[in-house]
Structure 1
């Protein structure tokens, strides 16, 4: 939204308007899905951030720059604000990079995302250089650096993640086969040698054992 406002104040910034308009549309769809399917607590915190930053923050910048700055000064003020926001966006992946180093897994850092981030940063870097627009070029230098570092981390921990997944997949199977072996052994042993001891006893109604008096003894078994 800030980049659209910045592009509207400049001349020959059609590409900035189109790409950021498309970005606003896609991000709005993402946020709508997140609010729809997120838990209640997460949904409320997202709505608070959306209200605080996207509406109140943008409205404040819009009003202050419109009434307190004029002409080229307004463009410079907006350029610095847009550059600061862009830097914060490119610094955000640092948390993911830290997670990759800590867990030695690239599960949460897809290679395609890092690749296209780097390509996008390079394209906008040259675009800003050709137009001599430092507010566009400077943030993408940082974007190129972090995108390149993400691809390097992916190359370092890619094989380690695969080996960890293979070990994790084989471990339950080994335990399962051992348990089945023990179970079959116990079952076959119990069937071959039942743990029962039977004695031929004559038992009266009071439960006391007496000597055999009749011809048909009662069989009492202990299992």
Structure 2
């Protein structure tokens, strides 16, 4: 609980800093995103408390949703990994972040194996695999990173395939 509480506190501070340093359009988008998340979690709590009457059922429901959220979090570097493969450059994938992600996932996976906690092991096991893949990509493309400086590199903006613009405009 202490680790989760500290993580929530750090995230709240980050969100406040991001919110106050962002332009108006991004503030609105962040506000809507947070509102949707609060409504989702309030509905989840209400449904779990009223419909799931045993601790095991509640744990399975909340654990499954938390594992799914963690998998989505660990899958987020897939966009930067795609960019690394496309540009053959690791310029947009810092090694320190990849190593820390791998070490974090590995530590939590070992803990989950010792406690036999599937809801911790599933997302962190995927995180270990994705972390290893990032390190392999970094090893493969780090020497060619200097070659793309003179080229106009394309980066994806948003989640759509057709919405691409040069980095200088991003």
Q: TM-score range by the shorter chain?
A: 0.7 to 0.9
What is aligned with 1:66?
49
Q: TM-score, normalised by structure 2?
A: 0.83
The total of aligned residue pairs comes to 150
Gapped regions of structure 2 (runs ≥ 5): 152-170
Alignment of 1:94-113 (within 5 A): 94-113=78-97
CA distance in 2: counterparts of 1:162 and 1:29, whole angstroms:
36
Please tell me whether residue 29 in structure 1 is matched to residue 25 in structure 2.
no
CA distance in 2: counterparts of 1:59 and 1:161, whole angstroms:
46
What is aligned with 1:146?
130
What is the deviation of 1:162?
Answer: 2.5
> 3-state SS of the aligned residue for 2:41?
helix
What is the deviation of 1:102?
Answer: 1.5
What is the deviation of 1:108?
Answer: 1.9
The structure 1 segments of at least 4 consecutive aligned residues displaced by more than 2 Å after TM superposition are 162-165
CA distance in 1: counterparts of 2:141 and 2:23, whole angstroms:
32
Alignment of 1:1-223 (within 5 A): 17-53=1-37, 55-70=38-53, 71-165=55-149
What is aligned with 2:162?
none
State whether residues 48 and 58 of structure 2, in contact with CA within 8 Å, keep that contact through their aligned partners in structure 1. Answer: yes
Higher relative contact order (CA 8 A, sep 6+): 2
